[in-house]
Amino acid sequence: MTTSQEFDDWSATYDDDVQDESGFPFMGYANALNQVVQHSGAQTSMSVLDLGVGSGNLAARFVMQGCNVFGVDFSPEMIAQASAKLPFLEIVQADVTQPLPEPLNRYFDRIVSGYMFHEFPLETKVAVLKRLADEHLAPDGHIIIADIAFETQADLDAARLRWADRWDEEDFWVIERDLPALQKVALAANWVRISDCAGVMVISPLIRSDGTIPLMG
């Protein structure tokens, strides 16, 4: 797992790096963030929590929609970058794998994230998302994630060969494996492919009227 120091060191060049959408890992980056906003149905005064706010690129899009945006990140230097862009944004330094501190101990209409969850192994992804859905998601709320993702293990393996010169082995989403893992904890997810290495997921609590969880088809 990447440390906060690594992100501190990256903070000064992060915005320049994400503009290189010619290949891995940021192919489709801007469109992925735009799709998070679109799938969120963002409206004025909607409360939004941005997980791993980073330099503020996703948060800024929600601010432009008139949302009440909160951010959380574990890197103080990334928070400094976001605060410089969005001086009125309330950002808390915290580890999202742990219970959220005040003033984030509340419900949000939408919980969003851009290019963070691939830092965690699958069991941590599932545990964090389940806790957030149970403890911080308002009724009719959704979690929307943009991240490095591949539909199948074969797609990931092909990408590893295609971009061997720039590949950084992390816990990237594999949709055929990971969506069923979310469903096992009663979270339904729809995935939209954005590029050869990126996608957007819309995640919602999944509970039938009889209390059962539907089986995967």
Q: What are 194-207's pLDDT values in tens digits?
A: 999 999 999 999 76
pLDDT of res. 217? 34
**Does residue 215 lie in a domain region?**
no
In a domain, 96, yes or no: yes
Give the list of residues 6+ apart from residue 215 with CB closer than 8 angstroms, or none.
Answer: none
Contacts with 98 (C-beta within 8 Å, 6 or more apart), sequence order: none
14 assigned to some structural domain? no
pLDDT by residue for the chain (217 residues), tens only, comes to 577 899 888 999 999 999 999 999 999 999 999 999 999 999 999 999 999 999 999 999 999 999 999 999 999 999 999 999 999 999 999 999 999 998 899 999 999 999 999 999 999 999 999 999 999 999 989 999 999 999 999 999 999 999 999 999 999 999 999 999 999 999 999 999 999 999 999 999 976 433 444 443 3
Residue 54 lies in domain = 4-9+20-205
Beta bridge partners of 200: 146, 192
In a domain, 135, yes or no: yes
What b-and-e string marks burial along 52-89, b requiring 16 or more CB atoms within 10 Å of the CB? bbbbbbbbbbbbebebbbbbbbbbebbbebbbeebeeb
* Alpha-carbon gap, residue 186 to 55, rounded angstroms: 32
Whether residue 217 is contained in a domain is answered as no
The verdict on residue 15 lying in a domain is no
Residue 1: its pLDDT value, please? 58
Model pTM score: 0.93
Tokens coding 87: 């001086």
Q: What CATH number is given to the structural domain containing 135? A: 3.40.50.150
Residue 100 pLDDT: 96
Please check whether residue 213 lies inside any domain of the structure: no
pLDDT at residue 216 in the model? 38
Would the CA dihedral through 122, 126, 131, 136 be positive or negative?
positive
* Burial class of residue 44 in the structure, from the number of CB atoms within 10 Å of its CB (0-12 exposed, 13-18 middle, 19+ buried): exposed
* Total of domains in the chain: 1
In a domain, 211, yes or no: no
pLDDT at 212: 41
